Structure 1
């Protein structure tokens, strides 16, 4: 089980559970086509963003496999949510999970996603005692797979044209890190 103490503070960020009052901030990035380009979701309207947020508000702990921890990434100096990070617990028996992240384009390329995603690795390996954490992305999403590499994850697979995605074939990269690799990086 994982029940973090909130807020989680990094050098520049606060990670905390989502609140219903975060709707305007979430809509600001979830409505953008470029944010959804490589996601299964489509750009959100206010109703869709509110429904998504209502689910995320309760995703603040992991008590059983299959659950997802989703945290708001807050930039205190801007006093707003600039993105979100998630940790999905895939298997208790095999001690595996997956991380993911979504950020407003205005706050990309500044190291915030790396800073926040590193917290998820800490929570997964140190908090849940995971053996393996993976991350996946569209093979065309270079900023995402470059982030995975900066975090220390290794590319394990490239599934070429493995699915039709938004009307076209796409490839998927799978990256992962094992607990012993994580410990060497700390």
Structure 2
């Protein structure tokens, strides 16, 4: 009788991570106020897959984020709070998105980020996302990182470029948006060898 092959369970990453100005740590229930504040801004959620969060939406998002601590299998996610001087200013996401084969560990992951607009223009998003890229490639056996975003989201597109990611694709009207229409998707990618050589 054949046994089902399962990818190996990967250990949780070592946290927190400290950069020059920031601390990246796991999201905790007490972060609800900070997440609720910046996710209540229509400009923050404009290009996200969810709109301005009401209480139920915030509860659901917090449950997902707090539970996303040690991804090991495709589809699982790591959520990190970004702190500056003891205040949460944003959050990062790393989702394991594909494996080379059913018995292997995930080899592709997707990055995402949301930041409080009050800290825009200070380089915090770039500093935090660079730390997440380094964590992704040093902790996980990844071949590739990617980001998917609305091409109109120029702020995130520029962040991808600062991370060394290449604009690889622009797919037309492949995403049903919240307005009942269709939006395009821009795909950015970074290979392990590009990260290692940077």
TM over 0.5: yes
TM-score normalised by structure 1 residue count = 0.93
How far apart in 2 are the matches of 1:73 and 1:133? 20
Q: Which residue of 2 aligns with 1:183?
A: 196
| Post-superposition CA distance 1:4-38 (Å, at most 9, x none) | 22211011111111111111111110111111101
Q: Which residue of 1 aligns with 2:68?
A: 59
Q: Is the 8 A contact 1:2 1:128 kept in 2?
A: no
Which deviates the most, 11-20 or 115-124? 115-124
How far apart in 1 are the matches of 2:194 and 2:132? 15
SS of residue paired to 1:95: strand
2:33 aligned to which of 24, 48, 52: 24
Question: Structure 1 residues 2 and 10, CA, compared in 2 at 3 Å: closer, same or farther?
Answer: farther
**Deviation for aligned residue 1:3:** 1.4
Question: Structure 1 residues 111 and 2, CA, compared in 2 at 3 Å: closer, same or farther?
Answer: farther
**Deviation for aligned residue 1:2:** 4.4
**Gaps spanning 5+ residues in structure 2: where?**
1-9, 101-105
How far apart in 1 are the matches of 2:60 and 2:151? 29
How many correspondences in the alignment?
183
Residue 97 in structure 1 maps to residue 104 in structure 2 = no
2:143 aligned to which of 121, 127, 131: 131
Residue 34 in structure 1 maps to residue 46 in structure 2 = no
How far apart in 2 are the matches of 1:72 and 1:21? 11
Runs in 1 of length 4+ with deviation above 4 angstroms? none
How far apart in 1 are the matches of 2:174 and 2:64? 29
Q: Give the greater-gyration-radius structure (CA).
A: 2
Residue 83 in structure 1 maps to residue 90 in structure 2 = yes
Q: Which residue of 2 aligns with 1:142?
A: 154
Which deviates the most, 12-21 or 107-116? 107-116
Which deviates the most, 46-55 or 21-30? 46-55
TM-score normalised by structure 2 residue count = 0.87
**Gaps spanning 5+ residues in structure 1: where?**
none
